[in-house]
Amino acid sequence: PDGQVEELTLLDNGAGADIRKNDGIYSRYFFGFSADGRYGVSVKVDNSHGDAGHIVIQRGSRSGAPPMDPGTGHTDGSNVHKEPLEQFQRMATGGVFGVSGVPSGGVTTRDVLPPSRVDDLAVREVSYHNATVTLAWTALGDDFDQGGPAHYVDIRDGRHFDQLADDFHGSTQVNQVLLGSLT
């Protein structure tokens, strides 16, 4: 509504708004609505430096299908390579849409949006001797995939997933060494 332009880099990393990594679909959340009104969208694709490429899979000689690993159903990678694309730039408009109900001062003035989902939580180290577990994950942003990582981490313990899903804040907060089996 105020004529300002905001640029977002769309991502294909399987995090935040993007569902599947490297599937060729680029996504990003946008919450920069400053007021009720009409907003326009345009997309610019820029390969002026020649960094973009496309994946080429060489087909098998007999069946026309790529060689697959029978155990995983995936190619072994020996028949896949990236070929560079020529330099190009493209721009397309996505139309205009109306937004209403924007809080006074805009969406970004209040912290009402949750952090993005964690989908790569992993146990990095388990020490029976020290009775510790080291966890690792990617913190994408404080408001879904926007902004920096949330300023706090809240880890809770529950005997069953349903307990955590139904009453996360009522579950035991992990801020001390827990006793018991780590298996």
* Residue pLDDT, tens place only, 119-170: 788 888 888 888 778 887 777 777 787 777 666 677 888 888 888 889 988 8
Q: What is the mean pLDDT of residues 27-47?
A: 89
Are 26 and 45 contacting, i.e. CB atoms less than 8 angstroms apart? no
> How confident is residue 40, by pLDDT bands cut at 50, 70 and 90?
very high
Is the distance from CB of 100 to CB of 128 less than 8 angstroms? no
Entry pTM: 0.56
Q: What is the pLDDT of residues 69-112, one digit of tens each?
A: 655 556 566 677 788 889 999 999 989 999 999 888 776 666 77
Residue 115: exposed, middle, or buried by beta-carbon count in 10 A (0-12, 13-18, 19+)? Answer: buried
Count of CB atoms situated within 10 Å of the CB of 18 = 19
Backbone angles phi, psi at 107, to 5 degrees: -70, -40
Q: How many CB atoms lie within 10 A of CB 113?
A: 16
Place of tokens 């949750």: 114
pLDDT at 164: 86
| Residue 89 pLDDT | 93
Q: Which pLDDT does position 181 carry in this prediction?
A: 37
